[in-house]
Structure 1
Amino acid sequence: MNSIQKKIWSLVLVALLIMSATWFSLIHYNQKMLDQYNNILERYLVLNEITIKSEDTVTALNNYLLIPSEDNFKAVSQNKEDIQTMKNEVAKFKNVENELALTNYVNLIDSFIETVDLSLSFQTEAETEYSMTAFNEATHISNYISEMALTLIDLELQTYDMFYRDMISQSEELKQLGIWLLLLITVGLLLFTYWFSQRITKPVEKLTHAANELSKGRFDLKVEVNSSDEIAFLAKMFDRMRVNINKLISEMHHQAQLENELQQSRLLLKESQLRNLQSQINPHFLFNTLNTLSKKAYMEGSEETSDLLVSVAGLLRYNLKHLDKPMTLNDEVHVMKQYIEIQKTRYTDRLTFHTEIDESCLHILIPGLTLQPLVENAVIYAVEPHEEGGIIWFRIKDEGDLVTIEVEDNGPGMSDEKIQEIYEEKVNTANGHSSGIGLSNVMKRLRLFNGMEDVMKIDSSLGSGTKVSIKLLKERRSEIYDQYTNSG
């Protein structure tokens, strides 16, 4: 399948190849002509420079003859060296047309240098007359060099006259060729771009039309695109999505109907269960019965049995309240103590319970039925399995913005795996015993109640007892309180 990306890269590659080939051809041809032109221009410049240097040498020699100073002597020597260097360059310009003239020109430069040296030599030996004669000869040779340079330049112009004319003609042709190539490439790219855009925009228009129809809720129109690239695949997936959405809508209608029927069944079942429960247990009757039994036991002198029945009645009454509403810590402590009284009746001296309560914290709100599961869990772990019983410590501490509640026992402790399961709210039972509303449930309700994750800490290891600490905020944001009560 030809992809859009391949088509785009093909377009770019073809354009780059054509432009690169054209550019390299033009650059190569232009560079070749430029090198020839620079070579000829360099010959002219060197010949002209030799003429200027010969005149400068004569001037410097005249200054030295008038004032034989070290600076004037250096000036003459420097000009001589420059002429000698350029003479070596001129020797490389020989060809069939200028060989004889160029040889005479080089010999003339050598004669000029020798004459300058001769004049300097006579001046050094104080032979002024001979020195001036040599100076005059050097002046004449310098003039000859100038004339000879013009002759050579004229000869070079005649030699390369046809080259200049061809170069001008070829430059004009090259310019026209570049213009035509540019026009041809532009037209080709425009035609290819138009064809390419049509191959993309037409399928896209079909997809756009199909999407518009889908937005209007028409899921019965099939999406068809005739192409061989990604757009065809996109259209196929789009049509599959249309079919799936249509199927999903049908399933949702059917599911909604089933949910409605199920909800009606659930409501009927709850109503039936509620009526069944009401017919089996009448809380007021049960409370009155327990109170009657308590008074009868008291009148018969069984005060301990009377107190036990009072505790059971109070515990049952508290558990049947609307526990989705927060309770005060004082209420929770009172119910927890009633629970301990019941357990002491059961375990007698095997259960030892110590309390350290800061009563200034008892007005703090706490989720209902929070303390009893913590103490019950300690009884199950530390007291029930052991013949000698166990010890439980219960503490309430004021810690600034927080109130900390600790339930500690001297039981067998828990493994790190069990503690982690409690933190992850996976455990509601302990060693096969039901703990009612378990630690994980307590943790979940405290997290919702406080609006934070860090609400419970379990310090325990196998063989060293367990200490469960929970944190309560003294002041909580109203939105968290509303969230907790509404969630109940």
Structure 2
Amino acid sequence: MTKIQQKIWLLVILAVAVMGIIWLALTHVTEQNQQKSNEVLKRYMEINDVSQQTKALITSLNTQLVTPSAYHAQQTRAQLSKVRDLEQELETLRNDDNGFRITSYRHLLESVTDTSERVLRLVNEQELEEATMEFNEATRIANYISEMTMTLLSEEMATYNGFYGALIETSEQLNKLALFVLALITVVLLAATYGFSYSITKPVDELTRAANDLAEGHFDRPVKVESKDELAFLASTFEHMRVNINEYIDELTQKAHLEQELQKNKLLLKESQLKSLQNQMNPHFLFNTLNTLSKKAYLDGAEETSDLLVDVAGLLRYNLKNRDQAVPLEEEVAVIAQYMAIQQARFADRLTYTTSIDADLSVPIPSFTLQPLVENAVIHGIEPVENGGTVKLNIKTVPQGLQIQIMDDGQGINAEQLQRIQAPQSEAHIGFYNVQKRLELFYGQTNLLQITSSEGQGTVVTIHIPREERADDA
């Protein structure tokens, strides 16, 4: 049997028990009143029966006197026996109020029976005149008995008048009690029914709310049901289902995030491959041509032009390398020097390049990490300024590893532009995002590249190289 069924049976048993107790109590009270009423009625009937049997005795005597016969004599003696029996039963009616009258009543009955005996004897002896005189005496005594019967009945009614009043009052009280008990039973049953229904409807409401939450996609709200029946098991199963769904959604979210990261890396790789293809358009022919021009310029005495061509050739040679490999930091610094020599030849006195290096430059770093950042400093920071500016490369050892800073005192970047640059996969600044992502993939850490700037105050790009570098290529 389930616990909900137990609750229902408990409610039914409670109702039946209350109704049974009330029925037994009312039955007991009714039986007591009925018993007392029967006793009083029996007294009335016994007193009245004495008068009736006495009258019947007189009638039987009159018949025997008028038409004497053995049959009539037998009938008269039978009636006489009944009266004598009633005489003995009168003692049961005696109480403190009617003791004297009961005694007088018995004497009258004795007189009427004795007189009746004499009438029968005289009739039998055929002394009809004396028998008639005794019969008249018996009739007179019977009339006294009738009068005394009425008196006794009146006294009995007066004696039990209080009983009848109490009986009526008890009946009225029973009616009131019945109404009160009916109201009490109704209240108790309503309270029990409400408690029982509430113990079922509240968990059902909570389960309904939980189902609505799940339907609306709120899988983070726990299912709590305070119950000790089958609904508690249902709620526990519901909660287990919610947890499983929530975990499954989290797993799908993580997979989607990983898929998104993979797509970003694929786009980054495609972008890098595209730029590599664009930059490698017949590079060997250009490299050989630049070497030829450099030697020709040197032979013609244009040593400055020859040096510039050598820097361009060196920069081109470095770009022919595999972009997906690591190089010593020293090579990146050398390439930056060649790049800045070319830009200084272009901008003349408007561009100044300085370095401050206090670190071990044999540390591996992803290739083409510094050049895009220095190129941004020159093109977007210094070139728009009429008087030009300075680009600084600072490298120093810090407790966490190595710190590289590329600084310029150019036009700077406003807050809105800076936010767009730092946005993931910014189409307008794919170079900055490319460098940042390659550093994270190479060292397995995040937040390795920061940029700070304000409009008119220049820009500082900081690269943090961890102390424990990766041994494999990026």
Could you state the TM-score of these two structures normalised by the residue count of structure 1? 0.44
Structure index of larger Rg: 2
Could you state the TM-score of these two structures normalised by the residue count of structure 2? 0.45
